[in-house]
Amino acid sequence: MDHHYADLIIVRFGELSIKGHNRRYFVRQLQNNIKAKLKDYPLIRIFSKFDHLVLHLNGTSDEPITHALSHVFGIASFSLAHKCSNAMEDIIETAVELMKTEEACTFKVETHRKDKNLPYDSMDLNAKVGHFILEATTHKVDVKNPQKRVRIEVDRQQAYVSVKIFKGLQGFPVGVQSKAMVLISGGIDSPVAAYLTMKRGVEIEAVHFAAPPYTSSQSLEKVKQLLGVLCAYQPVIKLHVVPFTAIQLEIYQKANPSYAITLMRRQMVRFAQDLAIQRKALALITGESLGQVASQTMESMAVISEVAKMNILRPLVTYDKLEIIEIAERIKSFPISILPYEDCCTIFGVTNPITKPRLPDVIKEEEKCDFTEIYEKTLADTVTYLIEEPKPETYL
């Protein structure tokens, strides 16, 4: 028996398992997302059970599949399962052979016996399997806090033994909530904000504000690479690139420079909102964190939000920078975010931005600018790109 690759993978639900009448819809979306993620593996078949999904690998290597499943929201855990008969001696042999391939650890045996007419009970099987593993390996039993669990699932025809159990991303499957538009820069924060929103089941599109010729094509490629990272969780993301230079020049030439960042962000929200309405998105997403920079005080956020007619989601609002960087490193966006290509916010920065703007003063400064013709032309010149998931890694 070849134990290198599993016969199937058992996928257990996360938070979605308690969603009552919506549960069936959530599970169906999760199943569809897994199918999309595994589109390059045509031999795999997916079956839905009451409290889990079963992926029959049909000879497919399990390594790329576990990698793919580790990027799917809505999964609590998944395990590699090896099939054998439901005879006790076969179950023992399978479990012992699998544990021989594991490094020395503490373990616990857990049996789920669906057929109560078998000539043994779960406690008896647990004890026998544990005994033979102890005899054949250097592993030790720890029933309270084991490093590894040997899961045995037995039904009327056969049994499945798992020793490799992986933690999933949890959350909700992308697509069970409505769509949102994320304002994405080339920085650290906005990709993390997008990731956390997707974890709640929200499908995203993205809008990026470019300032040619002040920002380079490398800056745009950086944003595309960041979205490529996020495509590991949502295979296709639409990116809308807004040529923002004329808007910014109008602001910096006519308004008080101290208000420039505030006025610029109000215009960004207006553009993003119009695109969101066109694309049937119900909210905007930003990477703002309270107090992190001058434009992210409560006063600034309130004045900027004043132009919005839809929800602005701020997943990072209470996060500090180290917490954000930790997530960015985990999802592999951080090395891209710190590439030295400036975005439109850094190109047109000001020395002393106002930190506690008053709405009447902001409106007074905004009225110095004439955005009418510029706005329509900028919106018309917006370009949309389709960002797709990069090819999966190759496994030997």
- The DSSP secondary-structure symbol of 147 reads S
> Which sign does the torsion angle of CA 162, 167, 168, 171 carry?
positive
Protein fold of 8-167: VC0802-like (3.30.2130)
Q: Which pairing describes strands 203-210 and 236-243: parallel, antiparallel, or unpaired?
A: parallel
Contact yes or no for 328/192 (Cβ under 8 A): yes
> Which sign does the torsion angle of CA 334, 338, 341, 343 carry?
positive
Q: Is 3.40.50.720 the CATH number for 179-388?
A: no
Tens digit of each residue's pLDDT, the chain (396 residues): 444 579 999 999 876 555 567 788 899 999 999 999 999 999 999 999 877 899 999 999 999 999 999 999 999 999 999 999 999 999 999 999 999 999 999 999 999 888 788 889 999 999 999 999 999 999 999 999 999 999 999 988 899 999 999 999 999 999 999 999 999 998 999 999 999 999 999 999 999 999 888 878 899 999 999 999 999 999 999 999 999 999 999 999 999 999 999 999 999 999 999 999 999 999 999 999 988 676 789 999 999 999 999 999 999 999 999 999 999 999 999 999 999 876 656 555 666 888 899 999 999 999 999 998 999 999 999 999 999 987 755 433
Q: Which residue type is seen at 59?
A: G
Contact yes or no for 82/161 (Cβ under 8 A): yes
Q: Determine the angle formed by the axes of helices 372-380 and 245-254, rounding to 10 degrees.
A: 160
Contact yes or no for 236/332 (Cβ under 8 A): no
Peptide bond before 213: cis, by omega within 30 degrees of 0? yes
- The DSSP secondary-structure symbol of 316 reads T
Q: What is the distance between the alpha carbons of residues 220 and 210, in angstroms, rounded to a whole number?
A: 7
Query: What predicted TM-score, i.e. pTM, was given to this entire model?
Result: 0.90
Q: Domain locations in the chain?
A: 8-167, 179-388
- The DSSP secondary-structure symbol of 181 reads E
Q: Which pairing describes strands 106-113 and 140-141: parallel, antiparallel, or unpaired?
A: parallel
